[in-house]
Structure 1
Amino acid sequence: MEHPSNGLSIIGCLRPAFYDEESYLRGLFHNEDGDGYASDWKDGERLNFNSQSAGANICSTLYKLEIMRMELFSVYGVQSSISLQHFQDAEPDVLVHSSSEIIERFNEKGMKSNAALKSLCRKKGLNVEGANIIGVDSLGMDVRVFSGAESQTLRFSFKSRVTSGRAAEKKIQQMLFPRIQRKKFKAHDEGLKNLDSF
């Protein structure tokens, strides 16, 4: 429940890969260095690969999924259909490889991060007992909040799209620790240091 994921439903048909797809598939699976795979074109239609490893001759056929329909089941409870053309034209989010590192860094702050997330939720009118960042992308962050036995996922959007992991971390830092609040924390920390000198 702390780290839910979106669900994707794909409906389609599996079919054997055909001869005209040879160059693409050969590039993926056939290596001139001799990795043990060789293509087999016995029937002239299907693309087969043979593996000769440890004296065994294993033949396998590659299949292609022809997608007919796609639906997204969001952690927010929304179900929506995805256009196949949009799916084919889509590119991964710029934070696809760095989002888990960003989440880890904020989770390392422990109680301080949790308190800041709860404060951010209070600004939105929600009183929560606990909160965790569960997702980050170039448009914002997803936060899983808990109140007793009830939990839900909230979306906090950035004011503008970010183009790097560093920019995303900076935006999250600004959301969680606003400038006025940071000054209060800094003054409070300096006051404690001065008390230690007595």
Structure 2
Amino acid sequence: MNAHAFSPQERAAVYRAIAERRDMRHFAGGSVPTETLSRLLEAAHQAPSVGLMQPWRFIRIHSVERRQAIRALVEEERQRTAEALGPRQAEFLALKVEGVNDCAELLVAALMDGREAHVFGRRTLPEMDLASVSCAIQNLWLAARAEGLGMGWVSLFDPEALARLLQMPPGAKPVALICLGPVAGFYPRPMLEEQGWTEVRPLQELLFEDTWQA
């Protein structure tokens, strides 16, 4: 056995959190204890970042009015997305695609401008700052699942409009609305698969060797 490996029980817990993580849209109200939220945000903050740039910023939404304004932006984009889907418009509108009004905590994950100061990876892959924020969000997601809390990543919003609403400085960009809180239960499969919107593709279709294979 690898001397650096976790115990079998610890490894099983890690893989369970990965396997049972779900993009949640249905929340049960309630609250998230302060100490739990602190643990989750610390987990997010421990994410890897290229050049140790730590480009993530999190905004916790306390104001009911601000939450309602954010929900209005989401609804505007939901309607635009439905129109763009053409034949699948009605099918899309029937889906529950966010839980902004229902979740116990609403966070905004943002990308802070300033990657020019971090040369690692920037010259060839400038989007690595966004990848770093995504790693932080994934850390938060897995930790939330381990804590028994649901989390949903909502991307239906106009980034410029949300940035204005939240008074973000020039160059900062919101990349995710994070709905977090207690749930009645976790979906046994991804919700979009359960609702017949799409199907999860098996790994074998996405894994190639040596060269790209059609």
Structure number with greater Rg is 1
| TM-score, normalised relative to structure 1 | 0.20
The structure richer in helix per residue is 2
The structure richer in strand per residue is 1
| TM-score, normalised relative to structure 2 | 0.19
Q: Which has the bigger relative contact order, CA under 8 A and spacing at least 6?
A: 2
